Structure 1
Amino acid sequence: MLVPRSLAGQRLDRAVALLLNVSRAEATGLVSDGRVKVDGVAVRVRHQPLREGQHLEVTLPSRPAALAPDPSVPYDVVLEDPDLLVIDKPPGVSVHPGAGRATGTLVHGLLARYPELAELPSAGAGDPSRPGIVHRIDRDTSGLLVVARTPAAYHALRQAIDEHRVERTYLALVHGQPEDRGLVDAPIGRSLRHPDRMAVQAGGRPSRSWFEVLARYDEPRSLALVRVTLETGRTHQIRVHMAAIGHPVVGDRRYGRAGDQRILGAARQWLHASELALAHPADSRPFWAKSPLPADLRAVLEACR
């Protein structure tokens, strides 16, 4: 399609959102994934302004097949009411289908117990492959996430997350000795050198992570247990931010250090979504949930001195 005069000077992500009638977040995802070309060249800078007459090409992801409920997927329900669910996800379970993961996700497990979630996308509440999912945590990260059960709850929760009114707190064991508390304020975008990774870089999306040291250890390595509170929620945000300040998460095979499994017994990234606080989308009453540390993370911590 050719960029019309009415969109001349508009940012790329806004123009894509308007032309395709999708949310700004969805448009940003298309840009970040390299699915948007301007005059035949893939552009990953979402704020690039457009000029009238430029040729804009967008490659949409293929529509997912119907999701089959899978009662074998493990998860715990912390809170359940007519509007939402708070789920405690174990490590090793992807939240939703994606590249290389078509079955066995949390979504498949939720549909086995809450089949009404399948109706949400048809009501304009979410992606067909992610019914009810308003945010996510990494496959090998354990802990809490909230799931919408109605269109109204979905839109209210999405807005609350976009406006930073959902407090998501994580526990992370990191290498080295960071300062007692601090803020990492650094934009995150798709790595230009490693497309399967995220990185701190100019032109990335604004990203802010607050951290506070809870405990320090000298053996078997210099380590610190930190509480991290997200102000934004970018892909791999805590892992990227802590690595960027020289304190990568223990056991992180993508952004961390070698030898963690051999020396510390960390078979996965030591990262747990421990607390979730928000106002209920139906009546604004505050609620808070907390998840205990899984056994594998406790074992690593108990070996530290």
Structure 2
Amino acid sequence: MRNNIRKKDDTPKMEFTATFKVNRSDELLEFLLKKMNTSRNNVKNLLSHHMVLVNGSPVSQYNLMLAKDDEVKISKRPVTEMPRMKTDPKNKNSKPKKVFLDIIYEDDDFIAINKPAGLLSVESDKERECAFSYVLEYMQDNDPTSRPFVLHRIDKETSGVLVFAKNVKIHSMLRLKWNELIQTREYYAMIEGTLKEKEGRITSYLKENQNNLVYSTQDPSGQKAVTDYKVKKENGQYSLLSVLIYTGRKNQIRVHMQDLGHPIVGDEKYGYTKNPLKRLGLHASKLEFKNPITGKLISIKAPVPNIFFGPFEKER
């Protein structure tokens, strides 16, 4: 998947009058009426003027269904739409757009994309461009009443499988039993140097310091994190690992590779010294989970980028 993501966010700085976190599913209009001391007409006016954002995307649909952990913001002024996604790179007459949406799985309940490195999963305080916005646009082009629901996130600089639910019921069921229903979380990681032990398991507890940096400890008051790794290729300078995680903690693989003394290439937060890929050497290659309603096992794969194999050989 090619992409044309800007290095810096050049959208106008936004100011908000209020930010609300959603604790339970609700319709957007009803949610805002409960949170804001104003009339129904005033809320509808905010919606019609694109001053309400859900997870960073401006919305006007008053009965849009919200889910737990959604973030709703009220802007001081009308919000311009994000540049539209690009789904057909062969269309030379199309206007300049920002990113190709690489849909790798879709059914009635779920949609998954191969997220490019450099794109947020969900908007941040500093940046609106995110996978959620593009998937929302894609879904509403087909059905204006639809929306994606966030099931999980992967780091901005990590590429690979990112899955959204299509309805609030299945979202709630999956989030409630996420760790029970997830069967496989596989990544590929390129690290600096070579490992003495060619496969193994890392178990520790993760905590976060006041600078929002995650670190590893044996203090059980932290979040337990378990990571398995296996060397697939090595050349003396770098190693390519397949990695399975059994707990989806923030920066888990990055911290555990630092624990081994072999940080992921391009990982500025956790001690890299070289970066042959010109990006973070981490890719979410496979996610398998059970549909909580049907019990069907859903397996979604995103091909490992070819550049991950370049330092080792031209052919896999």
- Both proteins in one fold, TM over 0.5: yes
Unaligned runs of 5+ in 1: 1-19, 24-60, 121-130
Identify if the C-alpha distance between structure 1 residues 62 and 156 changes in structure 2 by more than 3 Å, giving closer, same or farther: closer
Equivalent residue, structure 1, for 2:287:
276
Offset at 1:119? 6.3
Identify if the C-alpha distance between structure 1 residues 22 and 159 changes in structure 2 by more than 3 Å, giving closer, same or farther: same
- Counterpart CA distance in 2 for 1:88 and 1:21 is 27
Identify if the C-alpha distance between structure 1 residues 284 and 164 changes in structure 2 by more than 3 Å, giving closer, same or farther: closer
Offset at 1:200? 1.0
Alignment partner of 1:87 is 2:113: yes
Is contact 1:180–1:213 with CA below 8 Å preserved after alignment? yes
SS of 2:255's partner is helix
Identify if the C-alpha distance between structure 1 residues 212 and 160 changes in structure 2 by more than 3 Å, giving closer, same or farther: farther
Amino acid paired to 1:187: Y
- Describe the superposition over 1:235-255 as per-residue Cα deviations: whole angstroms up to 9, x where unpaired: 111001111121211121111
Equivalent residue, structure 1, for 2:100:
74
Equivalent residue, structure 2, for 1:200:
216
TM-score by length of 1: 0.67
- Counterpart CA distance in 1 for 2:272 and 2:226 is 23
1:293 to 288, 304, 309: 304
Amino acid paired to 2:231: V
1:251-270 equivalence runs, <5 A: 251-258=266-273, 260-261=274-275, 265-270=276-281
2:228 to 201, 210, 227: 210
Alignment partner of 1:181 is 2:199: yes
TM-score by length of 2: 0.65
SS of 1:239's partner is helix
Task: Give the aligned length.
Answer: 229
- Describe the superposition over 1:61-104 as per-residue Cα deviations: whole angstroms up to 9, x where unpaired: 98424885653243311111111112111111100011321x21
- Counterpart CA distance in 1 for 2:124 and 2:213 is 15
Is contact 2:118–2:156 with CA below 8 Å preserved after alignment? yes
2:73 to 64, 71, 76: 64
Is contact 1:93–1:140 with CA below 8 Å preserved after alignment? yes
Amino acid paired to 2:73: P
- Counterpart CA distance in 1 for 2:298 and 2:23 is 31
Identify if the C-alpha distance between structure 1 residues 169 and 213 changes in structure 2 by more than 3 Å, giving closer, same or farther: same
Percentage of pairs with the same residue:
27
1:244 to 241, 252, 259: 259
Amino acid paired to 1:236: N
- Describe the superposition over 1:95-141 as per-residue Cα deviations: whole angstroms up to 9, x where unpaired: 0011321x211111011111369866xxxxxxxxxx51111111111
Q: CA RMSD in A?
A: 2.9
